[in-house]
Structure 1
Amino acid sequence: MIIEEDEKGNTIKAREYIKVKNRLLGREESEWLRCGDVNSVILERAGYKPIYDSSEMPWILELKKVYPQISDEITALLSSPFNLTNVGEGRMEHDERVKIGDWKEFVIFGSNEGLGLEDSKKVLEEVLPEGTVELCREGGGEVILSRLGGHAKILPHCGPTNLRLTCHLGVKVPVGDCGIKVAGEVLRWKEGGCVVFDDGYEHEVWNETEEERVVLLIRFWNPVVEVSERFQFLEDAKNRKEEDYKVRWHPPVESEGIKGVIEEGRKCGGCRREGGAEVRFNDGFEILCKSCGSITRC
């Protein structure tokens, strides 16, 4: 995921970089589609777009019909602040830079599923698109209650892949300036209504009111992905994520070599003190002395 929210200039640079990259790779020329894992196969398929009309999806009509059956159970759960956790806390995924203010969740389906909403889970399993619960439990998505506090923001960012779509069903929507912008277009929630979008496109959320905003968030397979393709696409995405993880965190040198440098208490080349060093990886590895700040490259 590319996150460039600290300065507006950086966000613009990120968009331009992705636009050039997409052009070179023969992809859709959109600076908004900036997810880390773009599946190029589905980009040219009919119906692929950043924002969808919920009326195009029959299962959402069914979701709206059954929502009154689960709303009381959801309201009861939301009444206790201890039922929700900071977004991504249990999965160690959330980047604190992407939010301002209070943003919490309750996981219904997905990693670290919460205890509760048992009746609601049964109802949802009946109406969610085929493969949604499996996608969540395989690590490709989640179904959650997402609560954004008053005067909170989720800064411009992108989801990890374009293989899935996101549906927001409005549970509690305050009156005032509260909305979401997807690929440059502003959308507004309504209680009991749904907005559907591809979170691989840049999006941001804000709640400039005194009250909290709550949505039922559902990630489900992008309908342009054929059922027969799902398993392989998901496995490919997982493998690419694993490779990205290795590139980011695994040292480009043998771990035993680093272990030897650390255990022998190598002296700083600047102040000649031992210890108090931090090992960093950067085309090899380097040792940062915490005493004087000098860097020894190895």
Structure 2
Amino acid sequence: MNVANDESKLRLLQQSLKQAITEKNSPRIAATVEQILNITPADVGLHQLLGEVFPVLSTKEDARQQFQALVDKCPYAYSSRLVLARYHERAGDIEQAFRHYLIAVKTANLKGFWLNQLSTAPWARPFVAHAMSFIEQQRQLQVRQWLEPLQHQFGEQAMTRVRKAMLMYSGELPLVKCDHRQAPTFLYIPDLPTAPVFDRNVLPFAEQYEAAFSDIKDEMLSVLNCRSQFKPFQQDKYGDSLTAGGDWDAYFFHRHGNTYYESHQQCPKTSSALEALPLVHIKAHAPEVCFSLMTPSAHILPHRGVTNSRAVLHFGLEIPTDCRLNLCDVTEVQWQEGKIFAFDDTYLHEAWNRSCQNRVVLLADIWNPYLEQEEQLAIAQLIENIGVFGELTAAVAREDI
């Protein structure tokens, strides 16, 4: 940011505003105020001035065109865009209304406004409340449109849990969890049996998978010899590491819907064993499959997973003493070499390696064993839809910010 240039620009805009006020030129006042607020966003008086000039501007016959011209000139002008959206809504142009409401709200939020009553100018509060309600209604309508063909394809009874999950996701139904200790960060599937750690008898692939232990461990040790092939596993949404004391690294086979073909080529027997698992394949989302390495003294801090539609499967490969997975306030699980277990990571959980050796497991996202195949297919499609919708709305918001 060039402070000198901003100060110079601000002085010119302030002079222009004085002249526009003298001339009672409402379009020019609004446009100039929006430009000044982009430099000095916390000027309460200017926010109030917008609230005073908008009703005057709105009496013009070509008001919508004037607001459109204003946001074309000042894409960041979230207050003016809020009013423009209202015009589109009244004209029955729902798509454009949704687009402008969404951009207005996201832009204001990014600048620290419209987050609550205190961060919203008094004149804008009813408009913002209406915009939020409109956006929510459109999202709920979109979810119902996604559900309709799936209910037709699989039958309403088979989609009972999925439908309820999506209506809770959209906010149309309140979020009611079977176990209050679960707290997915994205999507909750209701009415599944409560299982922080899944019984082995619901994992029919267990013995076949464990039979590949020696081959998988040999391949793991081979790639571990080239330590650079392991990358830091994860950071939280703020960019902070989820690990203290030591490192949590991974050698990926799948991640975010991407396949790491070189890893499969380097570890063909592991790759073959993975093919027999009910992995969660969702475009651009899942599965996450890797050799998960915790170095000595590593502590993976408490965190939660995104959805209980999956289970996280662990296969113990190299397990020293003093290593644990702790489902906070539920139970502790100790890895065993050559053995698997699966747990629901929407429960708060942490892990530690208090030994002086590496701990390595083969980690994989599988479907929650209690989901029927029709539900798996529907959930995969719906999550893809949500992802595409999210990308589109983010792109719309970025388009003019």
Give the structure-2-normalised TM-score.
Answer: 0.50
Partner of 2:277 in structure 1?
128
Q: 1:193 is matched by which residue type in structure 2?
A: K
| Equivalent-residue separation in structure 1 for 2:298 and 2:321 (angstroms) | 15
Greater share of residues in strand: 1
| CA RMSD, 1 decimal | 3.1
Contact 1:148 1:207 in 2 (8 A): yes
Q: What code does the residue aligned with 1:106 have?
A: Y
Query: In 1, Cα distance between the equivalents of 2:185 and 2:198?
Result: 21
- CA offset at residue 194 of structure 1? 1.6
Residue number among 298, 305, 309 corresponding to 1:163 in the alignment: 309
Tell me by how many angstroms 1:25 deviates: 2.7
| Aligned residues of 2:316 and 2:336 also touching (Cα < 8 A) | yes
Q: Distance in 2 between matches of 1:246 and 1:95?
A: 24
> Counterpart in 1 of 2:353?
207
Q: Deviations over 1:25-63 (max 9, x none)?
A: 3522534211122333xx313x34221123442201111
Contact 1:168–1:215, Cα closer than 8 Å, also in 2: yes
Q: Which is helix-richer, 1 or 2? A: 2
Superposed CA offset, 1:273-296 (max 9, x none):
xxxxxxxxxxxxxxxxxxxxxxxx
Tell whether the 8 Å contact from 2:253 to 2:261 is kept in structure 1 after alignment: yes
Question: 1:137/1:244 Cα in 2 relative to 1: closer, same or farther (>3 Å)?
Answer: closer
- Name the SS of the counterpart of 2:332 in structure 1: strand
TM superposition shift of 1:143:
1.5
Secondary structure of the 1:50 match is: coil
Instruction: Name the structure, 1 or 2, with higher relative contact order (CA <8 Å, separation 6+).
Output: 1
Counterpart pick for 1:25 among 147, 150, 174: 174
Report the equivalent of 2:299: 153
Look up the match of 1:5: none
Shift of 1:78: 1.2
AA aligned opposite 1:215: V
Q: CA–CA distance in 1 between the matches of 2:326 and 2:215?
A: 30
Q: Is the partner of 1:58 in helix, strand or coil? A: coil
- Quote the offset at 1:183 in angstroms: 4.6
Change (3 A) 1:217 1:123: same
Change (3 A) 1:49 1:106: same
Q: Does 1:104 align with 2:253?
A: no
- Sort the Cα spacing of 1:237 and 1:193 in 2 relative to 1 into closer, same or farther, 3 A: same
Secondary structure at the counterpart of residue 357 of structure 2: coil
Note the C-alpha offset of 1:174.
Answer: 1.1
Deviation readout 1:216-263 (Å, 9 max, x if unpaired): 00111112221112232123234445666788x6797x854x5xxxxx
Aligned to 1:113, which of 237, 260, 266? Answer: 260
Structure 1 95/214 Cα, relative in aligned 2: closer, same or farther at 3 Å? Answer: farther
Distance apart, 1:126 and its partner CA = 4.5
Q: Provide the C-alpha distance between the structure 2 equivalents of 1:137 and 1:174, rounded to a whole number of angstroms.
A: 36
1:53 to 182, 196, 199: 199
Identity %: 24
1:66–1:121: structure 2 CA closer, same or farther, 3 Å change rule?
closer
**Is the 2:215–2:270 Cα contact (8 Å) retained in structure 1?**
no
CA contact (8 A) 1:70 1:119 kept: no
Map 1:126-275 → 2, pairs under 5 A: 126-129=275-278, 132=279, 135=281, 139-176=285-322, 178-184=323-329, 185-240=331-386, 256=400, 258=401
Query: Using the alignment, how far apart are the partners of 1:121 and 1:190 within structure 2?
Result: 18
Give the TM-score normalised by structure 1. 0.65
**Aligned partners of 1:180 and 1:187 also within 8 Å:** yes
Helix, strand or coil at the partner of 1:199: coil
Greater Rg over alpha carbons, structure: 2
Deviates more, 1:193-202 or 1:28-37: 28-37
Match of 1:72 among 213, 218, 227: 218
Structure 1 runs of 4+ aligned residues shifted over 6 Å read 244-247, 249-252
Letter of the aligned partner of 2:324 in structure 1?
A: G
Pairwise CA distance, 1:137? 6.0
Q: How many residues align?
A: 225
CA distance in 2, matches of 1:122, 1:174: 25
